């Protein structure tokens, strides 16, 4: 899967959390961040490959799932999603009206609004990961909650309950059928 947004939205932390959760579930995983010139407001992208077998290439041309947190990421990565794939979009910041692809399962969530409702606008990334996990079943919410302990530094462990609430809020937007 691809996750893309701008620096400050927590894309790389979210990707690391997914990878850590995959380890909790004894799966194989690779996490490849974009790096270097990124800064708050710049582009931030990561690729996470989760597999029961060999992960293989950490670089993916056509991801089966993309989590898109801002408009420029949709413009850049939208065309690369595998036909029949899943595109989870933060419609607080993305306008889908001009997006031409009809061959994708598009899940539109106003993630900024959801994050604000649960009390912390910075939790957009956790809402996104929760929705991703619930829609794809790649990892469980329990594994994500467990993985937060290894992903966040000790001094931030007091924020774990709030992060778990955001994960659950994201997951709750995906119905049992997998639809919003």
Hey, what are 31's tokens? 């996490």
Q: Pick from 40, 52, 61, 102: which binds another protein (CB under 8 A)?
A: 61
Residue corresponding to tokens 């990707």:
15
Give which of 6, 36, 17 is closest to 126, Cα–Cα.
17
x-marked contacts with another protein along 7-46 as a string, rule CB under 8 A? ---------x--xx--x--x-xxxxxx-xxx---------
Residue of 138, 145, 141, 167 whose CA lies nearest to 28:
138
Which residue among 40, 59, 97, 100 contacts another protein (CB under 8 A)? 59
Q: What is the separation of C-alpha 29 from the centre of its chain, rounded to a whole number of angstroms? A: 15
Element at 135 (helix H, strand E): helix 124-136
Give the x-and-dash track for 126-155 against another protein (CB under 8 A): ------------------------x-----
Part in contact with another protein (CB under 8 A); list of ranges 55-63, 84-92, 131-139, 165-173: 55-63
Judged by CB under 8 A, which stretch of 50-58, 90-98, 113-121, 155-163 contacts another protein? 50-58
């Amino acid at each position: 899967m691809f996750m893309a947004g701008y620096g400050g939205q927590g894309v790389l932390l979210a990707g690391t959390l997914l990878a850590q959760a995959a380890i909790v579930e004894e799966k194989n995983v690779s996490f490849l961040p974009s790096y270097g010139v990124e800064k708050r407001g710049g582009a931030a992208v990561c690729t996470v490959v989760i597999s029961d077998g060999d992960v293989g290439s950490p670089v993916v041309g056509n991801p089966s799932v993309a989590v898109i947190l801002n408009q420029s990421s949709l413009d850049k990565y939208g065309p690369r999603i595998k036909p029949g794939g899943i595109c989870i979009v933060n419609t607080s910041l993305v306008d889908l009206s001009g997006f031409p692809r009809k061959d994708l399962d598009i899940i539109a969530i106003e993630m900024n609004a959801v994050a604000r409702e649960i009390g912390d606008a910075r939790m957009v990334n956790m809402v996104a990961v929760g929705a991703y996990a619930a829609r794809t079943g790649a990892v469980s919410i329990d594994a994500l909650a467990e993985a937060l302990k290894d992903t966040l530094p000790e001094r931030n462990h007091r924020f774990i309950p709030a992060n778990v609430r955001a994960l659950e809020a994201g997951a709750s937007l995906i119905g049992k059928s997998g639809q919003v």
